[in-house]
């Protein structure tokens, strides 16, 4: 009596191929999910770094804002601080890594040409009577939906104000400036409130 040869039946082969296919799909899905998670993590980390850098710059610049009124040789007088809900202009020194020196900082939203907005700052040296800007406006933060500035300080009677959307006393600094931004991306902008050195007297400074 002949012994029957042992092997896989067609049904077993089909079942094995089906199981292998399922495993490959599961492995592929896991790899795709991992790549997607890694890409999201990288985007989050990059956006978080950008937000922190913008906040650090604005906090440092505003903390160093000077109570300094500029009288040029043509009789113009520059405000100590000009602040609205959409823009702020003040004087502060730049770090040495950014050429240093006393500069007028002008911070505002600018349309990037595609309908989105960027938070930009322009620098102007205060020792230049023709108010030429130093270089091109620098981008602090990309993809900003809205900007809202608010101010608190002392009124003409030396009474504390509430938060107001514009600063009506340009010859002196407010006590506090608050910047609220709505930004795109996975990171939320933490509300930034900065205390300014507003307890000093206004000083005139003549441009050479």
| Tens digits of pLDDT across the chain (208 residues) | 455 556 667 777 777 788 887 788 887 777 777 776 666 677 778 899 999 999 999 999 999 998 876 544 444 456 789 999 999 999 898 877 666 788 889 999 998 777 789 999 998 887 645 445 556 788 999 999 999 999 999 999 999 999 999 999 988 899 999 999 999 988 899 989 999 975 444 443 333 3
Q: Name 176's Cβ contacts closer than 8 Å, sequence gap at least 6.
A: 151, 152, 153, 193, 194, 195, 196
Closest alpha carbon to 52 in 192, 178, 146: 192
User: Domain ranges in the chain?
Assistant: 48-206
The verdict on pTM exceeding 0.75 is no
State the DSSP H helix or E strand holding residue 141, giving kind and residue range, or none if neither.
Answer: strand 134-141
Evaluate whether 195 touches 179 at the Cβ level (below 8 Å).
no
Going 29 to 31 to 37 to 43, the CA torsion angle's sign is negative
Could you tell me if 106 and 89 are in contact, meaning their C-beta atoms sit under 8 angstroms apart? yes
């Amino acid at each position: 009596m002949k012994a029957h040869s042992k092997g896989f039946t067609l049904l077993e082969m089909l079942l094995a191929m089906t199981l292998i296919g399922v495993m490959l799909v599961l492995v592929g899905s896991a790899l795709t999910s991992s790549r997607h998670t890694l890409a999201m993590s990288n985007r989050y980390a990059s956006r978080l770094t950008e937000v922190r850098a913008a906040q650090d710059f604005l906090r440092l610049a505003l903390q160093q804002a000077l109570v300094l009124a500029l009288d040029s040789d043509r009789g113009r007088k520059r405000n100590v601080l000009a602040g609205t809900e959409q823009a702020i202009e003040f004087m502060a020194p730049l770090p040495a890594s950014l050429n240093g020196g006393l500069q007028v900082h002008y911070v505002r939203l600018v349309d990037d040409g595609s309908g989105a907005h960027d938070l930009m700052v322009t620098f102007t040296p205060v020792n230049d009577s023709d108010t030429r800007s130093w270089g091109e406006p620098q981008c602090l933060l990309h993809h900003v939906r809205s900007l809202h500035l608010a101010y608190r300080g002392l009124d003409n009677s030396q009474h504390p104000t509430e938060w107001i959307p514009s600063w009506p006393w340009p010859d002196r600094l407010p006590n506090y400036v608050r910047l609220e931004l709505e930004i795109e991306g996975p990171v939320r902008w933490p509300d930034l409130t900065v205390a300014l050195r507003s307890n000093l007297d206004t000083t005139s400074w003549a441009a050479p």
